[in-house]
Structure 1
Amino acid sequence: MSGFELLDPAIQHHIVNSLGWPGLRPLQEDSIPTIVDGDDALLLAPTAGGKTEAAMFPVLTRMQAQRWTGTSVLYVCPLKALLNNLGPRLGDYAAWVGRSVAVWHGDVGQSARRRITRERPDILLTTPESVESILVSESVDALQFLGSVQAVVVDEVHAFAGDDRGWHLLAVIARLESLIGRRLQRIGMSATVGNPDELLEWLRGGAPTKGRVVAPPVPTASNPEIVVDAVGSAENAAKVIAGLHHGEKRLVFVDSRRLAEELGTSLRDRGVTTFLSHSSLSAEQRRESEAAFADARDCVIVATSTLELGIDVGDLDRVIQINSPRTVSSFLQRLGRTGRRPGTTRHCLFLALDDASLAQTLGMLHCWASGWVEPVVATPEPRHIAAQQLLAAALQTRRVPLNGWQQQWGTLPLFGDEGQEILDHLLDTGFLDHDAGSAFIGVEAEKHFGRRHFMELLAVFTAAPEFRVFQGRNEIGMVDIGLLTEDVEDVRVLLLGGRSWLVTHIDWKRRQVYVEATDIHGMARWQSIPDGLSYEITRGVRSVLLGDTPAGVTLSRRAVAALDGYRAQRADDVRADSLVIERDSRGDWRWWTWAGVKANRTLAAWARDLVPGRQRIGAESIRLHSDLTVDAIKQGLGDVQHSSERPAPAVDRRAIKGLKFSVALPEDLARRTLAVRMMEAKRAEGLLNERISFRFGSE
């Protein structure tokens, strides 16, 4: 029997007659038996590969066959905008079998929430933070509302798994299972990842139940068209975008909010209909931009990763990438935005703003062309999330037993060997009080996290302080506090939403800024510390500098000329048969490792007698002490190679304060959590075994 034949008859009817599909895609066909049987599953397909239907058609079938009642499915997404986007489509599918859907997240008002809890939709589209807010709520009976849940569907699961939000998601699911007394079916959906089996095991949280990766081969009708150009500046990028592809819908990806604002302004100045989407614009501003872009034709939308995931902005003609995304996975997500219409090809135009960005773009494409995609690895040793979960459990149950307290999280390996130490610290410091064998929320927890019904405790991700910007009553977005505190000669003008705004008043207490439109050019800036390049992509850059060009990639004449010049400039930093340790013209030693930031940071910690303590560790090299001799460097690296003592990187106290919930941890545990996340020991170990050539600046 085919997968299609296993579906509920009403769903079969609507697939043929309402959707007009001649049949199911391979992923949709293959997923049905596993999900209908109630097993866990990880569904893998490129962007626009039909993953939502592959999950929900069999889930709805199981819902009908087993006569589920009440809210029986949680559909979890990493972005509120994605939930809003999916709501109508899933609502249509559910209606085929007489079922209902509702959306619940931080932007949903209290009246709507009361209606949802009263009517109890069959499928609830939500975020992990919202599920936890329901669990700890004093106004919602969590057991009554969520007691009928049978399955959890996690969209874009890779976006959770590589981040602390992933541990939070699994912990919340485990506590829900403990509350209702049964295990839930877990279904994850993801774009291509490098380690699907490990990702499925992570999603299952250590449970011994059955699970399956569903990833049928994807037919490739034609190779994507990848073009790389070197434009030299953001201003030149705007000229290229404005001058090419008239009449087309173009999605331009950038990797900073500041660049999004500046490029958007330059395009508008050139008469291009331009919309913006990034995380510091208000939800209303983003919705208006995305809706207008979806309905328009000859236009551009400039976006950060907010449009990388599955938010629908209509049919696209072209994707343009400024510089390079930091991962192959991000590139695949963005490339998948194009070529969705029959007879069209997927394509992406890269515009490199400088020579280093050109090399990084080609290094990333070198990895892509070789078939490599990043594995999704859970963040190691999430002790701060363990502390958060203990406090959240105390809010939920009002009392946590001092014995057997870990049972609420079942088989989830969240607490490691330090769980009892974390609990003892919370008790000793007053975050938890205890009496009669139970712990409950203490004064310190109320002081640090209690504002607005413990909202700070329920939000796992953190960001630098930002101020909300208003034009009258209309919220435009958020700006960094630094733009409001730095000295200005005359007036203070902000760039937000691709427009300039004159600041008329700042309410420091409420963190609100009031503005009016102006023709004076404004400024945009946000604090952010991007992840450093990986070992694989940095090695890809090295291969490009040594002469490789990624297969399937076309370089413009400008890109060829810029690459030739950059290869000549960097010729002394790379050798095919060895790594280079070079003494430059200033007498400084530099070890060109081409190992990525984490491996270099690890090496710098291990070889601290060779490496100056105060330096910014990059992906390509490490600076060594200038007074070392060649023999001293060789001896020092040999000592590191044979040493059993491998110290972790130093962690600044200010960095500990940036680790959310670190205040609820012993300082040494917080420090160790950060240190292990800064390291890549296996790669660093491998570097110590690589051949090294010494070069002097006079050569």
Structure 2
Amino acid sequence: MADAFELLHPNVQRTLWDMRWTELRPIQAGSIRHLLVQGGDCVIASPTASGKTEAAFLPVLSAIADAPKASVRAMYIGPLKALINDQFRRVEELCARLEMPVHKWHGDVDDGARKRLLAEPSGVLLMTPESLEAMFVRRPTAMPALFRSLAYVVVDEMHAFLGTERGAQLVCQLHRLRIRANCDPVRIGLSATLGDSHAALGWLRPGGPAATLIEDTTARTALAIRVKGIWKKKPPNAVSDDSDATDPPNPDPSMVRLARDILLACKGNTNLVFANAKRRIEQLADAMTTQAASMKLVDEIVVHHGSLSKERREYAEARLRAEMPCTAVCSNTLELGIDIGQIDEVIQVSAPWSVASLVQRVGRSGRRANARRVLRGYFVEEFPDETADVWDRLHLEFLQALAIIELMLERFLEAPDLARSHSSTLVQQVLSALAETGGATAASLHARIVGSGAFGRLSAKEFARLLRELGLHELIEQMEDGSLILGGKGEAIVENYRFFAAFNAPEELRVVHGNDVLGTVPEPPAPGEHLILAGRRWRVDEIDAEHRTIFVSPAKGGAPPRFSSGYGRIHPRVHATMRELLASDRVPAYLDDMAKEILKSARETAVRLRQFEPSAQPFETGVRLYLFRGTRVQRTLQLALAHAGFGASDRDVGLEVSGNPSEVLRALRAFAHEPDAEALAAFADEKQGLRKFGAEKFEWCLPPEHWRAVFAREQLDIPAAVAAASTVARDLAALGWPRPPS
């Protein structure tokens, strides 16, 4: 490692001595050699807490140390403001002896700090893609001076950008920055979880030389796993979770058991408890707070998710860093690399959507010397009484969690979808570029936006059709000389601060107690009703609709607000592993006795269902299709059946179709014989309104034929769905369908 250390700038070397570093980690030595000798783009891939930030900044700071003030010399892009604030402290410590300025730029940074940077651009700048977008729109003339000598761009948590709207936005922004400021910085990606490292190497600079992979191949710390099952038996006359009673409802015994078990297992430690839904997070945090008080535990329970105020989230982060026991009940907001100190254990109370997500979460623990990573799972499942639904008897969320754990142990990671067109983000970038330039020709826009490589190979003709559609929506208009400018509606959209995010962010209402902003909720409760937020119970006193504010006071009763829920796309490998678990007699060693019972119960149901052979099984009012082929295939078949006039409900690993099995069989055969992706996309557009009310921000203004082509290509899996339809049709026929009418 000594040779790598010698490559660093003398002031960087002295900084490391002052910080009492005794050695460089392999990932840091490798990045130093690459960036200071070989040069060029690189991706630094290593587990969480392995020193990736220093692996990037030690050579970057060494390279710019002698000329830090020509302009901003290095830019760090992170996915979260909280991560920006956290990394600011780390980079500032490295830069202190170098007398190199460090700046941050996001919505919470005051105007004074921004003006100082604009007056004397220098050193290192940390920001989000949304802040960079705002700069293009609001300060384009300042950008050449600000970035003319930009030498490096560091993209942290790169996996959070791959295949997403924000990722396409960022790649396009870097191309536009090259044009605007005449700079061509080296691009450095940092990630702990790359499902397809080869594809990721090309993502940083589409169409250019692939980045070099610098990977940590050293052994991981030991991992301890324990999964505990809890049976839930619905008590008679139970009060619903949605109760608005002034007094607390009778607590759900399974929630009390869950809260107590977590507290007993984790007392005296610092822990993260992950749940998928914010509503579930609030319920569990409230139950844990109540039980901790009754058990006389000093451990504090805090809450962390995206709908809480910045102050509440920062308090939770500070408590986790403190040297006192604390447990945070959280969403994926604590999945990324925010500094939250030494985490002893990671707890899952609901199945994550992906293996990559679980790997990120587990990597938060075991950072102390000689410490092991610890994963605990606590899963509450309905006891399968006589009235239980067939699908519920399979305990699918529990199985999904086990499947993802098994795949993590196999070191499988989902690959990001890097072939997406990102048409919604393309529209955003067109509007942003017109705001930046004040007007441009179609050809120059094509070079500036499509030329970035972020949106595939969109021809000039296809791009022109898109521009005409934007004109029809009055987002842009054409001048007499042929140049394009923002239209009236386009200007209104761009001037709104929400424009800078490439993704949809629902407008929510603030919840305020006195001078304390607790967070936000998407739906306003009525005055006098109760809710749970930030792990506490509140009474709604007043609603100010004009200012979108709810005033509350402490109360005894309450139910968590109904937050909007997203969904994940489950990889086919996860579903296949779930099916393998049901068919196997192997019992994972990390299951406790109750979890073994739940697995045994699910397997007994699978046996009664003949291990899903046949894959189509008629019942009283329709047909159950057992697919186990991943979300994309399932949604394709669901759409095909809806197009044929059948109601088909998604049941996680299959579909439940209402209708006569003979007619369902005919529909499946028709789809398998002549699948029409164009017709399905048109149906999704015209009948289901997926373009008008689509998940992405600007889908509503895309040309219909463009949206449908992209939808068919990226949201459907016709070949795999045809194979699935053929299988279930064959199985239905083997059961004697179609049958003659009685």
Flag the 1:18–1:613 CA change in 2: closer, same or farther, 3 A: farther
Q: 1:589 pairs with 623, 634, 646, which one?
A: 623
Q: What SS class does the counterpart of residue 403 from structure 1 fall into? A: helix
Match of 1:289 in 2: 316
The amino acid across from 1:540 in the alignment is: T
Instruction: Tell me the amino acid that sits aligned with residue 535 of structure 1.
Output: P
More divergent stretch after superposition (277-286 vs 494-503): 494-503
In 2, the alpha carbon distance for the partners of 1:543 and 1:18 equals: 54
**Residue matched to 2:430:** 390
- Asked whether the 8 Å contact 2:615–2:727 carries over to 1, the reply is no
Q: 2:522 aligns with which of 480, 483, 488?
A: 480
**Is 1:684 aligned with 2:721?**
yes
1:176 and 2:177 aligned: yes
CA gap of 1:267–1:657, structure 2 versus 1, over 3 A, is: same
The answer to whether residue 299 in structure 2 is matched with residue 298 in structure 1 is no
2:84 aligned with 1:83:
yes
Deviation by residue 1:195-223 (Cα, 9 ceiling, x = unmatched): 0110121121222x35211113131353x
Q: Is 2:74–2:152's contact at 8 Å kept on the other side of the alignment?
A: yes
In the alignment, which residue of structure 2 is the partner of 1:225? 224
1:286–1:382: structure 2 CA closer, same or farther, 3 Å change rule?
same
Say if 2:570 is the partner of 1:527. no
Cα distance in 1 for residues equivalent to 2:507 and 2:378: 32
**Among 313, 325, 350, which residue is 2:340 paired with?**
313
C-alpha distance after superposition, 1:521-574 (max 9, x if no partner)? 3432201131242211111111111126586x5100110111111211232446
Aligned residues: 680
- Decide whether aligned partners of structure 1 residues 532 and 408 sit closer, same or farther in structure 2, where only a CA change above 3 A counts: closer
Looking at structure 2, the residues matched to 60 and 420 of structure 1 have their Cα atoms a distance apart, in angstroms, of 44
Farther-moved stretch of structure 1 (59-68 vs 213-222): 59-68
- Identity over the aligned pairs, expressed in percent? 28
Q: Report whether the alignment pairs 1:575 with 2:611.
A: yes
Tell me: CA distance 1:440–1:221, structure 2 relative to 1, closer, same or farther (3 Å).
closer
- Distance change in 2, residues 1:597/1:619 (3 Å): farther
Residues 477 and 379 of structure 1, relative CA distance in 2, 3 Å threshold: farther
Deviations 1:464-523 (A, max 9, x none): 331011122321100121x426xxxx8212211111222222111221111222233343
CA-to-partner distance for each residue in 1:369-420, whole Å, 9 max, x for gaps? 2221111223722112111111110100101123332222334242623322
Give the counterpart letter for 2:220 in structure 1.
T
How much does 1:364 deviate? Answer: 1.2
Q: Distance in 1 between matches of 2:101 and 2:610?
A: 60
Amino acid at match of 1:35: L
Q: 1:407 to 1:655 in 2, by over 3 A?
A: closer
What is the match of residue 248 of structure 1? 269
Q: Does 1:547 align with 2:584?
A: yes
Q: Which of the residues 403, 407, 415 maps onto 1:375?
A: 415
1:414-435 deviation digits (Å, cap 9, x = unpaired): 2623322111222343211222
Q: Secondary structure at the match of 2:615?
A: strand
Aligned runs of 1:418-437 on 2, under 5 Å? 418-435=462-479, 436-437=481-482
Q: Report if aligned partners of 1:162, 1:378 keep a CA contact under 8 Å in 2.
A: yes
Q: Offset at 1:645?
A: 3.5
Aligned counterparts of 1:309 and 1:65: Cα–Cα separation in 2: 33
Given the alignment of the two structures, is residue 514 of structure 1 paired with residue 513 of structure 2, yes or no?
no
TM-superposed deviation, 1:67: 6.2
Q: How does 1:408-423 map to 2 (within 5 A)?
A: 408-409=448-449, 410-414=451-455, 416-417=458-459, 418-423=462-467
Q: How does 1:273-672 map to 2 (within 5 A)?
A: 273-354=300-381, 355-378=395-418, 380-409=420-449, 410-414=451-455, 416-417=458-459, 418-435=462-479, 436-447=481-492, 449-450=493-494, 453-481=495-523, 483-484=524-525, 491-547=528-584, 549=586, 553-573=589-609, 575=611, 580-584=615-619, 586-606=620-640, 612-624=645-657, 626-629=659-662, 633=665, 640-643=671-674, 645-647=676-678, 648-649=680-681, 650-651=684-685, 652-653=688-689, 656-658=692-694, 659-672=696-709
For the residues of structure 2 that align with 1:26 and 1:429, how far apart are their CA atoms? 54
Say which SS state the counterpart of residue 584 (structure 2) adopts.
coil
Q: How far, CA to CA, are the matches of 1:25 and 1:638 in structure 2? A: 59
Question: 1:655 Cα shift?
Answer: 5.5
Aligned positions of 1:17-32 closer than 5 A: 17-32=17-32
Aligned match of 1:167: 168
**2:201/2:212 contact within 8 Å kept:** yes
For each residue in 1:98-157, what CA deviation from the matched residue of structure 2 results, as whole angstroms up to 9, or x when unmatched?
A: 212111111222222222222324111100111111122159612222222222110001
The C-alpha deviation readout for 1:297-340, integer Å capped at 9, x for no partner, is 22211111010000111111111111221111111111111111
> Which residue type is aligned with residue 12 of structure 1?
Q
Match of 1:200 in 2: 201
C-alpha change, 1:681 and 1:60, in structure 2 (3 Å) is farther
Structure 2 unaligned runs (5+)? 232-253, 294-298, 382-394, 737-742
1:669 and 1:457 map into 2 onto residues whose CA distance is 22
After TM superposition, the structure 1 stretch with the greater mean CA deviation from structure 2, 295-304 or 4-13, is: 4-13
Q: 1:574 to 1:72 in 2, by over 3 A?
A: farther
> SS state of the match for residue 475, structure 1?
strand
User: Match of 1:438, as an amino acid?
Assistant: S
Contact 2:646/2:658, CA 8 A, preserved across alignment:
no
Contact kept, 8 Å, 2:270 with 2:327, in 1: the verdict is yes
Aligned ranges for residues 124-143 of structure 1 at < 5 Å? 124-138=125-139, 141-143=142-144
CA contact (8 A) 1:612 1:625 kept: no
**Cα distance 1:500–1:573, how it changes in 2: closer, same or farther (>3 A)?**
same
Q: In 2, distance between residues paired with 1:61 and 1:26?
A: 18
Aligned letter for 2:13? Answer: Q
**What are the equivalent positions in structure 2 for 1:47-66 lying under 5 Å apart?**
47-64=48-65
Helix, strand or coil at the partner of 1:186: strand
1:157 alignment partner in structure 2: 158
Contact 1:316 1:338 in 2 (8 A): yes
Q: Taking structure 1 as reference, are residues 357 and 296 closer, same or farther at Cα in structure 2, changes over 3 Å only? A: farther
List per-residue Cα deviations over 1:74-115 (Å, max 9, x = no partner): 100001001111111101112232212111111222222222
What amino acid does structure 2 have at the position aligned with 1:153? Answer: V
TM-fit CA distance, 1:185: 1.3
- Does the residue aligned with 1:502 lie in a helix, a strand or coil? strand
Distance in 2 (CA, whole Å) between partners of 1:607 and 1:259 is 32
What is the CA deviation profile of residues 50-83 of structure 1, one whole-angstrom value per residue up to 9, with x for unaligned ones?
A: 1111111111122136767221111000010011
Q: 1:66 to 1:294 in 2, by over 3 A?
A: closer
Q: Structure 1 residue 636: deviation in Å?
A: 6.1
Give the secondary-structure state (helix, strand or coil) at the position aligned to 1:500. Answer: strand
SS for the counterpart of 1:516 is strand
Contact 2:77 2:154 in 1 (8 A): yes
Q: CA distance change for structure 1 residues 411 and 385 in 2, over 3 Å: closer, same or farther? A: closer
- The 2-side partners of 1:328 and 1:268 are apart by 30
Q: Hey, what's the Cα distance between the residues in 1 that align with 2:599 and 2:574?
A: 17
RMSD of equivalent CA atoms:
2.6
Q: How far apart, CA to CA, are the structure 1 residues paired with 2:721 and 2:218?
A: 36
- Indicate conservation of the 8 Å contact 1:365/1:550, yes or no: no
CA distance in 2, matches of 1:672, 1:234: 46
Taking structure 1 as reference, are residues 527 and 275 closer, same or farther at Cα in structure 2, changes over 3 Å only?
same
Is the 8 Å Cα contact of residues 70 and 122 (structure 2) preserved in structure 1? Answer: no
Deviations 1:12-42, CA, capped at 9 Å, x for gaps = 3333x23333322221111223222431111
Q: CA deviation at 1:587?
A: 4.9
* Distance (Å, rounded) in 2 between the aligned partners of 1:464 and 1:674: 23
Which residue pairs with 2:287 in the alignment? 266
Q: CA deviation at 1:642?
A: 4.8
- Partner of residue 211, structure 2: 211
